[in-house]
Every structure is written in C-alpha cells, then in structure tokens.
Amino acid sequence: MNKKIQLQDLGNKDYKATWDYQETLFKEIVEIKLLKRAKPELVTPNYFLFVEHPHVYTLGKSGDMSNLLLSEKQLEAKGATFYKINRGGDITYHGPGQIVGYPILDLENFFTDIHKYLRFLEEVIILTLAEYNIIGARSEGETGVWLDVGTPFARKICAMGVRASRWVTMHGFALNVNANLGYFDNIIPCGIKGKAVTSLHVELGKTIDEEEVKSKIVKHFQMLFEAEFIKNASLVDF
C-alpha cells in the first residue's frame, strides 16, 4: 500500500480546468489499478490538490436546478460561472477566500469504506477549526461541517461532495475561510432550505491566514489517514 500523497497547491485556477486536471489524475490511478491485475508490483499514486476558484456555482449529479436562484445573465453580471458536475450532493459555491481541497486517492492504499472516508474528511475540518477554538460538528444526514448544530443558529462552514469509482476518489471539500458570503444568497446551499452559511473570518472577526489553515488541514489529514504528504510536488501546466 502506498500511503504517500503528492501535495499540489494550484493557487487560483479556473474551475473547469481544475476539474479536467482532476479527471486526468483520477483516470491515471484507475488505469494503473487495471494494469495491476497483471502486474501486482505496480503502485498507485495519491494526490491532494489545494485550489482557490474564481466565483463559480456547481451542481452535483443528484442536484436540483431550482436551487440556483440566478439566470444566465445574472450569473454573468456577478462574474460567476456554473457547471453541472459528477460529484455527489446538490449545489454549492466556490470563490476567493475559500480553501478547496481535492483528495484524489486510491482508497485501497488506506481503507475501502466511503462512509469512513467522508467522516474522516469532516474530522480533518473539525480538528482544524478546533485550533481556532471553534466547535465544528456533523449534522445528521447532511454531509459537511456545521456550527451550532441543533440550534436555530446552525450554519455551515464547510461543504463536501465526492465521487468514487473503483475506490478512487475525486472532488472533496470547500472550507469558507475569508469567503464573501453574499454569493451564497444566490443559491439554496446544498439544497437545504432555512440553513445559513458562515466563514472562519466572520466567526473570529478578523482576516485569517489561509496558508496557516492549509498547514493545519495537512497536519490533521496526515494523522487521520496515516499518510505522508510529499510537498511541493511538481506541477503540471494546464
């Protein structure tokens, strides 16, 4: 089993270009897995991408278009794009001030349990928030990380949606760190009515060092997955 994960920070990248890049890495891993049937000595790689996207709304394969509250012209006016994509979940927003993480892993290198995988992703964020004295929690039946669950003030701080095939994952999580929450007003986030969203900077009342948050995410991800991150992995131009 290969527990090394190549870490790539892509900076600010177009959503579709990043999605295509994810697909390239995903297919690479799947192809190696197929070859392993004849050559069991082959090792599948693992990747973790950090990225920040320009304003974009994405709708999961089971999502409802009515949860996007903007027309095509209104999207253009806000400088935002929209994509229907192949992850689970409903609609969400990505934009500046948000840390997006895409683990592209062969789970057979770690464990073969999608439910456990999602819970571990949530736990990574919960442990990261705890370092800022913020109590993150799960909300039953609603993937992601929330604050003040079970109260009238429940609000989501991290959305999650993944795709998995042959135990290979893609897509991931989006943690609001210094995000402009006004963009969430244009959707029914994750298709859940009557629930608010928040951002780390709103909760703490100050701008947050995003590089510091990334380092904490990496630390907790490595610990939970018993993995080793290879930092500054060579980037592929796309």
CA distances from 127 to 15, 196, 198 (A): 27, 21, 17
Q: Is 171 annotated as a binding residue?
A: no
Q: Is 221 annotated as a binding residue?
A: no
Q: Is 173 annotated as a binding residue?
A: yes
Q: Is 17 annotated as a binding residue?
A: no
158 labelled catalytic: no
SS3 assignment, position 153: coil
Q: Which of 190, 208, 217, 227 is catalytic?
A: 190
Picking from 160, 171, 162, the residue whose alpha carbon sits closest to that of residue 48 is 171
Element (H, E) at 72: helix 72-77
Q: Is 217 annotated as a binding residue?
A: no
Question: Cα–Cα distance between 220 and 132 in angstroms, integer?
Answer: 14
Strands (E), the chain: 4-12, 47-52, 56-59, 81-84, 91-94, 98-104, 136-139, 142-147, 155-165, 168-176, 196-197, 228-230
Question: Cα–Cα distance between 189 and 179 in angstroms, integer?
Answer: 14
Q: Is 18 annotated as a binding residue?
A: no
Q: Is 93 annotated as a binding residue?
A: yes
Instruction: Give the pair of three-digit tokens for residue 44.
Output: 């599948």
User: One-letter amino acid identity for 21?
Assistant: Y
Q: Is 238 annotated as a binding residue?
A: no
Q: Is 90 annotated as a binding residue?
A: yes
Q: Is 179 annotated as a binding residue?
A: no
Q: Is 88 annotated as a binding residue?
A: yes
Annotated binding site: 87-94, 159-161, 172-174
Annotated binding site for substrate: 87-94, 159-161, 172-174
- Residues classed as catalytic: 190
